[in-house]
Amino acid sequence: MLSSLLIKNYALIKHLEIQPENGLNVITGETGAGKSIMLGALGLLMGNRADVKVLFEETEKCTVEGVFDIERLNLKDFFAENELDYEDHCVIRREILPAGKSRAFVNDSPVTLDSLKELGVRLMDIHSQNETLQLGSNVFQLNLIDSYAANASVLEDYKNAFSDYKTSEKQLQSLKENSASLKKEFEYNSFLFEELNALKPENIDQAELESELLILENAEEVKRRLNLAYENLANPEISGVNLVRDAGIALGIISSFSEKYKNLKDRLNSSLLELQDIVHEIEIEASNVETDNQKTDFLKDQLNGLYRLQQKHGIETVEQLIAIKNELSVKIEQVINLDEDLAKLEKVTAKKLEVLQSKAEDLSKSRKKIGKPLETQIVSLLKELGIPEAQFEIIFKEKKLSSDGADDLTFVFSANKGASPKTLKDVASGGEFSRVMLALKYILAEKKQLPTIIFDEIDTGISGEVAIKMGNILQEMSGKLQVIAITHLHQIAGKGSSHFYVYKDNSDTKTVSLMRKLSGDERIIEIAKMIGGQNPSESAIRSAIEILGNI
């Protein structure tokens, strides 16, 4: 249960602290005083998104902190899974900084909003006026049924199977769509591949071919230059080799005189060996250079073929041609294996559809199983709430498989004897909507064993005897869980075990919303005002005393 609530710098609230009690806590106050603001703050503790616009003072941070007694809630596994320190009193805190950043903490440890939401739904159920309006929605009704049937695990299994099937179906559709274009391109891709395969780019060294062709095209000049170099180095009369050898001999005679002379001689000897090797290689290269028109034409053809394909594909290197050839090979292989791949994927998709249909059937059975018992409970509660001829049914229809199953369900209702039940949104008045919602919340709270439930004007559209009966139901609920009810009816306010009053203070430069717990005498006056207006009569005061005396 919610043991205490601290709200600072939120909307109209500058600073507020309350300690709700076990039982029925009622909150009353003038219209616009800020009763519902507290629900927005509590929503932050349940993981709702924060907005910097809610700051009372724009330069200060907002803090909302709730202390919850969780001793009996079996939450130790959740805390262990989320690596949080467990204590019997859990402190949840949200902070909104002026810069717009929001932070969440559980027992002073930072947590994600997803973790906070997971914890929040186990601690509180907040019923807003908007939720009553949503009661006419089929999606909302389906969520209520799943909540009552405790379908969380079954629904998650179904959703996983649905996602798995949809992924496979999308892949199959994509493959079918691509197959047409792949087959259309098959002949052209095959032609391109054969062109490249004939060239065999993986066996080509472009730089080497270009160099070899350049030599062949200039064979006479190359041979003449090589021979000239050879003559300059090897001619006995002007031999560069002999000159180096003679210089080495000259230094050899004096090498014993100094280490420097010896080093010079050794270097000349090394140069002589290198020079002799160069002469030998020049001689070989010169002998290898011959005019060969046939080979020249062959190399020209090979390079022209290479250049043509490079230009055709808009690239510059052999490596890029090889990459294109490999890509074409993959595309061709895809088409060759396309029918086999399609057959395999169709089989996989069909199998996943079978699994999905089985999961949908399990989910549908679970929903339908609780239909009649839930109808009976709701009708019984509606009779207690002043609709003696109430009829309530849950109509199940099969629909196309979707993310929430194969069930399309509708709540139908009639408040009058002899009238056929029709959809809630078509026949229910505001007061009847409120009573149906209360009946559902009553049943769900008992089923889910929630510690705290909060109602924001669940009494909309009712008055008189019906309001008394609703107060009795809320009071009965509060014997099993903590109930916090924002109300504008004295019949419900009088049933509270504790009473909080919300009011505005305009004494400063900015209007602030305040809340305080009322004493016994203050409760009498407040309820008397709710009965008879701002200046209650003696009769209204006596009625208030009587109402409170019956708690």
Helices (H), 314-404: 318-336, 338-369, 371-384
Point out the least confidently predicted range of 6-20, 96-110, 322-336: 322-336
pLDDT at 216 over 90: no
What average pLDDT does this structure show over 246-275? 83
Phi and psi dihedrals of 314, rounded to 5?
A: 70, 35
Higher-confidence residue: 131 or 273?
273
pLDDT at 41 over 80: yes
Higher-confidence residue: 159 or 236?
159
pLDDT at 257 over 70: yes
pLDDT given for residue 132 in this prediction: 67
pTM comes to: 0.67
pLDDT at 19 over 80: yes
Instruction: Give the closest residue to 69 by CA, choosing from 46, 87, 82, 44.
Output: 87
Q: Hey, which residues does 31 pair with through a beta bridge?
A: none
- Could you tell me the pLDDT band of residue 266, with boundaries at 50, 70 and 90? confident
The CA distance from 84 to 82, in Å, is: 6
> How many residues does the structure list for the chain?
551
Helix (H, G, I), strand (E, B) or coil at 49: coil
pLDDT at 550 over 70: no
Task: Decide if 484 contacts 452 (C-beta within 8 A).
Answer: yes
Mean pLDDT (the chain) is: 87
pLDDT given for residue 258 in this prediction: 82
pLDDT at 178 over 60: yes
Point out the least confidently predicted range of 142-151, 249-258, 464-473: 249-258
β-pairing, 102-106 vs 89-96, is: antiparallel
Render 395-422 in DSSP notation, one character per residue. Answer: EEEEEEEETTEEEEEEEEEE-STTPPPE
CA–centroid distance for 165 within its chain: 20
By CB neighbour count within 10 A (0-12 exposed, 13-18 middle, 19+ buried), where does 380 fall? middle
pLDDT given for residue 545 in this prediction: 92
**pLDDT of 304-338, one tens digit each?**
888 888 888 888 888 888 898 898 888 887 777 77
pLDDT at 198 over 90: no
What average pLDDT does this structure show over 344-369? 95
Instruction: Give the closest residue to 437 by CA, choosing from 458, 457, 454.
Output: 458
**pLDDT of 60-91, one tens digit each?**
999 999 999 999 888 999 999 999 999 999 99
What average pLDDT does this structure show over 247-275? 83
pLDDT at 105 over 60: yes
pLDDT at 455 over 80: yes
- Residue keyed to tokens 């199959």: 172
pLDDT given for residue 133 in this prediction: 64
pLDDT given for residue 400 in this prediction: 94
What average pLDDT does this structure show over 247-256? 80
pLDDT given for residue 368 in this prediction: 95
pLDDT given for residue 236 in this prediction: 66
pLDDT given for residue 454 in this prediction: 92
**pLDDT of 479-526, one tens digit each?**
989 999 999 999 999 999 999 999 998 888 888 999 999 999 999 999
Higher-confidence residue: 241 or 276?
276
β-pairing, 405-414 vs 391-402, is: antiparallel
Cβ-proximal residues to 334 (8 Å cutoff; 6+ apart), any chain: 182, 341
- H/E stretch holding 29: strand 24-29
Higher-confidence residue: 479 or 252?
479
pLDDT given for residue 377 in this prediction: 93
pLDDT given for residue 238 in this prediction: 66
pLDDT given for residue 551 in this prediction: 56
